[in-house]
Each structure stands twice: as structure tokens, then as C-alpha cells.
Structure 1
Amino acid sequence: MIGSNRVADKSDLPAVLLCTPAIGLPEHVLSQADTLDLAARLHAGHPELRLALRLIENTGVRKRHLVRPLDETLRDTGFTERNRVFEAEAKKRVPPVVAEALTNAGLSAQDIDAIVLVSCTGFMMPSLTAWMINELGFRHDAVQLPIAQLGCAAGAAAINRAADHCRAHTGANALVVACEFCSLCYQPGDHDVSSLLSNGLFGDAVAAAVVRGDGRGTGVRLGPQASHVIPGTSDWISYDVKDTGFHFRLNKGVPGTMRLAMPHISSFTERNGHSLPSLDFHVTHTGGPRVLDALRTDGGVPEEKLWASRRTLTEHGNIASAAVFDVLRRLSDEKPADGARGLIAGFGPGITVELTLGTWQNDDPHTLTPITRTTAATAAGDTR
């Protein structure tokens, strides 16, 4: 069983809509050829260099975007400097992405009742959500929900938590922001193969999307959701937190994680009247090629339905919690038909699986008058 059946199996969930996301990519680009050359030079005497290079090539990542130039990225600095860069870059790069996401939803900052922020690559207290409220025009009574420790699964989890809020508060709108600067986790002193692989896989990005509580707009009409932690895998994806910052750790069992997750994913979709192969679209976190390969080989998902996730992985690498939003943006550009059904799936430390079923909807949000929590409650006769 996955998550709470009280949530996952309900067919009468209030309508909420995940609008078209916005994505921001840093200007510094690192190609796979550059990555391979760099790894060969920096680790020339490594006994498993050939294996590491082959693994990096097999990721299929052609390029990645970095918040800092390569020479600064490679510099060995402590946690203080890395976190200073995270805060400065977040305050620089989040605002334009948020503005675009609000425009996509046909809303303003004043229409947002909750902000869900996810990141696993830096730390701020007060959270970036408080800074956004003070500096970007959001209401001072907006609910803040910063999530820091779900890693790559956080994008899908944030969508689900935003939907929860909008369903609990009639007519409320929630903004989701994913801010991931994975290059700040580069540690030149880590020489194990998993570290070398991650150095060739992860990229930086900022993403944002609005969940409209009135269920209107263009995007995914969100339905049943589920969460699941795979037993015995809690140390398979992790951080060692040291004076130098976050040191990413991967267990050798991680490539086979999807085979462990697949029965739970299939059970969730079937319990809600669908099968994985029959769904029209898949918005899947691009953790690596084996995630997508398992959906095809073990889940029976046709390769052509994984195109958006493949393209995100190829063009941006693994951008952690921001990945599902980039995949959804690509899907939106193709304008799926009204009523197309699909799955949003995220995977991360735990090993955590976060799932949502949804239906595609095409409405122009700019022709709609926003329904706020107050007006919706008044229309429903709730005067509390």
C-alpha cells in the first residue's frame, strides 16, 4: 500500500490545477565533453577512472547549467562560502522565475495564499519564503512551507503539499518554488566513483509553478496522490554534512531502486483505475537514465511517452527537485489534448516515492477572474 488510502483512493477530490511552470537556468554551461575531459585530468591516477568516465557517458547528459563559472565551481571552499553563494544566487534568480509562473497562472503575488519552497542544496533561516513575502509583494499572511530534506523527490512532494493546502482552504492558491544549485555540492576531495558520477550528472536550476484552488487554467488538474518510503534504503541516497558543506553519497543499490518502486507505482495507478502503459503522459523526475529505463522495461511505459523526461535529462542533467517542473513545461509546450491522463512522479532520499495522477486541461487563465479563498468561502455561505 502507498501512503494514505484516505487520500490516494478518493475520487471526489476538490479540483485544483497545477499551472504551466516557469524555469530559470544559469548562464554558465558545461558540456559532457568538457566534463569527461575535466574528470580525466583531475583524476588521472584514479584506479576506477575508466569506469567513472563510462558511467558519466552513459547518463546521456549532454550539457548542464551552473550558477558560477567553472573555475569558481571547482574551488575548494567551506560551508560558509558555499551557503553565501546559495543565498545570493537564490535572491537573484528566484524573482524572475516566480514572476513568470504567476503570469502563466493569470494571478498576482497578492492572490497567493501559501508558498511551498523546496531545496536541498543550501540553507537559509529565515527561509527564502520570508524574503519573498517581504521583497516580492506577497501578502504578509501567506502561509510558509519550506521543505529542505526530501532531495529530488521534493518537487513532486511540493506539488502534493500545495494541493493539500488548496483543498483544505476553499479557493486558496499556492506557489511552489524549487531552487537547486547542485554545483555548490561539488567536493574536490571526494574521489569515490559515486561522487565522480554525481559530478557529471547534476545541474543547477530554479523552477516555479502555481496551484490554483479554483481548478481553472492550463496545466494538470491534480487528482489522487501517494507517498511511499521503500524499506531498508534510508542510507542509499544521503548527505554527509561537514565543515566543507554537503557531501553527496550514493549507495551501489540505487540503480536498482526503480525495480523496488515499480510494484508500488503500478499498484497506485491501478487502484485509481489506470495502468502505467495506458496513461497519456508521464512527468517523471530525471534522476538518471535507469529511472526512465525501468519505467519502460518493468513498467511497460512506451518510450515515446518518456520523451519530455529524457530531454530534460539530456539538456540539463539531474536538476533535483526542479526536474519535474522542467518536464511539465516541455509537455505544456506540446499542448496535450484536454482530458489526457498522466502521472507526476518524484524519487529521492529515503528512498522516497511521491506520486500524483492528473488530467490535462487547456483554459486561458488570463480570461478568468481569480477566485480567492475569501470570495470562494463567501459564495459557499461560509462566513467564519
Structure 2
Amino acid sequence: MSHSPESARSPGTAIAPTLCRPSLWVPEHTITVDRTLELCRSLHGGHERLGTVLRMIENTGVLKRHLVQPIEDTLCHPGVEARTALYRREVQRALPGVVEEALRSAELGVADVDAIVFVSCTGFTMPPMTTWMINELGFRNDVRQIPIAQLGCAAGGAAINRAHDFCVAYPGTNVLVVTCELCSLCYQPTDSDVGTLLSNALFGDAIAAAVLRGRGGSGMSLSRNASHVVPDTEQWISFDVKETGYHFRLDRRVPGTMSMIAPTLRELAAHQGWDASALGFYVIHAGGPRILDDLSRFLGVAPDAFRHSRGVLADYGNIASGVVLAVLQRFFDDDVLPTGARGMLAGFGPGITAEVSLGTWTAPARRHEAAREAELTGVAR
């Protein structure tokens, strides 16, 4: 396990940049689990393990997913060139609003951003999308570009951790994190193995963004991070790259990986002097229900602690690197965590890789103002 630079600092001198409220965009087109089951029956009626696949789909916990195209278009494969053009067009159409909302939540403007971490495993552009953002959205020309393309679902946690490292290396700087996953553009009509059929029913499309402020702001103030690769699992989640693009491969052993990852989460918390089983909030990647069930069991955490992860899975499916930001957004929407609450953020993906952060909650200033006003009102009475 490797730790971020500030992990060697004493508690009194640690730098704690704050991860502010994320923004989330999902496309207008949707598909329900019932429609997914219907399509699986019609497209793969002769599959020898159809019954197993249908049961697995019903057990994902996914009720609805958002797609960048209508399902009829999604099921067609017009070629890599057409899909790449669609990826670029849709990202450039939706991204400005997502970025604007994230900056507004952080009470910053484009001129205040010193680096952009952009992660995506479902589309490829060069120059990276960060260059387009600098040219079209008004970011400074000296903004550091940090595109990450190959960490899949773990990339959301990795983006936050690399942003954290940047803020520690350059105190007072601000980093914009963007996750962009149009998973439906990786659909392959000719693939029918069980792992692929399950994935076709699990993944959804979304773009998310959040700002890590070097100073000030409210949200999750990060204190420590870690990365961990489970040995000899590099083929368990992968892309086969063929003439028709990316072909997703999912090994049946993946759902059981939490037994290998939970010790890393406990160790990281212990380095902080915390108990991983007794934190105030958990922002956990919702790769599927068994991932959450097993992690709950191995950490000794009540299932309700992962309620927002389950909620994101139900409403959007697995939106890959965007899951952790979507889950974090729900804690902001709850608006009940007290300042000082201890929490963990964890993303899991190819490798098998875990990217984990620890931090404490800083409640929005309005909460303190409201509490103080109520206290003064009570005294006056």
C-alpha cells in the first residue's frame, strides 16, 4: 500500500484540501430493468445460460439506467469512428454545464483552477478533452492537464487522490476533477459470454465533476490516501481491443475481491488512528450488490452505511468512475453530517485496483449560521 505525501506529516501540519459538492449529469434516454430483461430474452433467447443471466440481472439492484442514445441506436454498432465522434460531441455538449455547477458549488471560477484531472475509459481523444476545456471554457493556459484513461471504475478514486496529491505538493491550489463515462458506447452486439451480458445490464452513462479546494470550502477534507493492487488479478477486469473497439471482459471472481481489499481499507484507517468499522460516512463504489454486501461484512459495518451507494446503483446503474462522486453528492443532499465526522471514499476497478481516501466532514457555513441563530433565539426567549 502506498500513501500520499502528507501521510508522513504530523497531525498538526497536515494539509487537508476539501472535496466540494459534486455535480452530476445523466442523459435523457433511460432503460428500466424490465426492459433490459425483455431485451436479453429477445436477443439471447437461445443462450445456454439464459436463466442464470436473467437471475443475475434481477439481482443487480439496478432499477434504471441513463443512455446517451435511445436503446434502438445503442444496440447498433456503426463503427469505432462514428462512436468516437458521438462520444466527443456528447461530452462537449454536456460538460460545460457540469463544470459550471461544480465550480459554483466550490465558490470558484475557471481562473481559480490550477489543474484538471479528467478520467474516462469509454472514449479516446487526442489531444485530451482537457485541452478542449482550456480553449473553450476559459481555463487558464497554464492549467496542468492530468488525463487518466485506463483505470476504469477505480479512476474516480484515483482522480480524487491525484488531485489531493497535487494540492499537497502545491499548497493553496485548486483542482477540478471530471469523470466522463459513456459506457453504452462500448456495447458489442456480437459478445454473449455471461460476464458481458451482465455488464450490458449493469452499466450506465454519466458525467460528474467536483473541485478539490486547497483552502476553504465545505465537504470532505482529505487527510490521507492509498492505492492498492491485488496481485495476479490483472485479467479479471479488462478490455480486449479489436477492430470493432473495446470488448469488456469481466471475470466471475470479481465480486469476491472485497476479502482481498478490506484489509487495505482497515490498514489505511489504522494509519490515521481510526477504526474502519466505526466511521461516520462511507463513499463506496457501487460495482454491484455483492461488492457492497461483502465489504459491509468484512468491515463490520451496518448495510445502511452504504445506502447511498445502493441508491446510485439503483437509479443510474454502475456509472464507472463517476460512482464515487454521485454517492458523495447524496451526502451533501442529506445535509446531516456534522463537522468533524470521519469518512472513507473508495473506488475499485481493473488491476484489481483500489483507490482510497480518508477525510473529515466540513459542514457548509450556513449550517453553522443556522445553528447559531437557533441558539441565540433560544437564549432570547
Shift in alpha-carbon separation, 1:4–1:277, aligned structure 2, 3 A: closer
After superposition, where does 1:27-106 map in structure 2 within 5 Å? Answer: 27-106=28-107
In the alignment, the residues of structure 2 paired with residue 364 and residue 110 of structure 1 have an alpha-carbon distance, to the nearest angstrom, of: 24
1:223 is paired with a residue whose SS is strand
Residue 249 of structure 1: how far off its partner (Å) = 0.2
What is the 5 A alignment of 1:1-384?
2-4=1-3, 7-8=6-7, 10=9, 11=11, 12-214=13-215, 216-335=216-335, 336-364=337-365
- How far does residue 340 in structure 1 lie from its aligned partner after superposition? 0.7
- Aligned equivalents of 2:69 and 2:131: distance in 1? 25
CA distance in 2 between counterparts of 1:95 and 1:235 reads 35
Answer yes or no: is the 8 Å Cα contact 1:9–1:272 preserved in 2.
Answer: no
SS in 1 for 2:66: strand
**Cα distance in 2, alignment partners of residues 293 and 39 from structure 1:** 26
Partners of 1:8 and 1:83 lie apart in 2 by 40
**1:375 corresponds to which residue?**
none
- Counterpart-to-counterpart distance in 2, 1:96 and 1:47: 45
Q: Alpha carbons of 1:97 and 1:5: their partners in 2 closer, same or farther (altered >3 Å)?
A: closer
User: Per-residue deviation at 1:6?
Assistant: 5.4
Once the two structures are superposed, what CA deviation does each residue of 1:58-93 show, in whole Å capped at 9, x if it has no partner?
101000000011111000222111111111111011
Question: Structure 1 residues 32 and 9, CA, compared in 2 at 3 Å: closer, same or farther?
Answer: farther
Give the aligned CA root-mean-square deviation in angstroms.
1.2
- Aligned AA (2:188): Q
SS of 2:122 mapped into structure 1: coil
Runs of 4+ more than 2 Å apart: 4-13
Code of the aligned partner of 1:360: W
Matches of 2:54 and 2:330 in 1, distance apart?
29
Match for residue 374 of structure 2? none
Structure 1 contact 116–162 (Cα < 8 Å) conserved: yes
Corresponding position of 1:374: none
Give the paired residue count: 363
Question: How far does residue 273 in structure 1 lie from its aligned partner after superposition?
Answer: 1.2
Task: Answer whether contact 1:7 1:225 (CA < 8 A) is retained.
Answer: no
Distance 1:170 1:357 in 2: 18
- Tell me, in whole angstroms, the C-alpha distance in 2 between the residues paired with 1:4 and 1:219: 22
**How far apart are the structure 2 equivalents of 1:225 and 1:201?**
28
Q: Secondary structure at the match of 2:249?
A: strand
Which residue identity is paired with 1:362?
A
Q: Secondary structure at the match of 1:276?
A: coil
Residues 184 and 80 of structure 1: is their aligned pair in 2 closer, same or farther, counting only changes over 3 Å?
same
Task: Please give the alpha-carbon distance, in whole angstroms, between the structure 2 residues aligned to 1:105 and 1:20.
Answer: 7
Contact between 1:77 and 1:244, CA under 8 Å: does it hold in 2? no
**1:217-264 deviations in whole A, cap 9, x for unaligned?**
121000111001000101100000111111100112111111111111
Q: Give the counterpart letter for 1:359 in structure 2.
A: T
User: What's the secondary structure of 2:257's corresponding residue?
Assistant: helix
Distance in structure 1 (CA, Å) of the matches to 2:319 and 2:27:
12
Task: Give the Cα separation in 1 of the matches to 2:3 and 2:330.
Answer: 31
In structure 2, what is the Cα distance between the partners aligned to 1:163 and 1:63? 33
2:55 and 2:356 map into 1 onto residues whose CA distance is 32
- Structure 1, gaps ≥5 residues long: 366-384
- Give the structure-2-normalised TM-score: 0.93
- 1:290 positional shift: 1.2
Counterpart CA distance in 2 for 1:165 and 1:40 is: 48
Contact 1:13 1:224 in 2 (8 A): no
Instruction: Give the deviation of 1:5 after TM superposition.
Output: 7.4
Give how far 1:299 is off. 1.3
The Cα shift of 1:364 comes to 4.2
Normalising by the residue count of structure 1, what TM-score does the alignment of the two structures yield?
0.93
Write out per-residue CA displacement over residues 98-142 of structure 1, whole angstroms, 9 at most, x where no aligned residue: 000000000000110100000000000010000000000100110
Partner amino acid, structure 2, of 1:84? A
Distance 1:286 1:338 in 2: 25
Q: Retained in 1: the 8 A contact 2:285–2:309?
A: yes
- Deviation of 1:9 after TM superposition, in Å, equals 5.3
- In 1, are the aligned partners of 2:5 and 2:168 still within 8 Å (CA)? no
State how far apart, in whole Å, the 1-side matches of 2:255 and 2:150 are. 21
Q: Return closer, same or farther for 1:254/1:8 CA change in 2, 3 Å cut-off.
A: farther
Q: CA deviation at 1:212?
A: 0.4
Kept in 1: contact 2:114–2:144 (CA 8 A): yes
Write out per-residue CA displacement over residues 246-303 of structure 1, whole angstroms, 9 at most, x where no aligned residue. Answer: 1100112111111111111112112221122200100001111111101211111111
- CA distance in 2: counterparts of 1:190 and 1:303, whole angstroms: 34
For structure 2, which runs of at least 5 residues remain unmatched after alignment?
367-381
What is the SS of the residue equivalent to 1:359? strand
Contact 1:217 1:362 in 2 (8 A): no
Counterpart Cα distance in 2 of 1:16 and 1:5 = 13
Q: Percent identity between the aligned chains?
A: 52
Q: Secondary structure at the match of 1:306?
A: helix
Other structure's SS at 1:206 match: strand
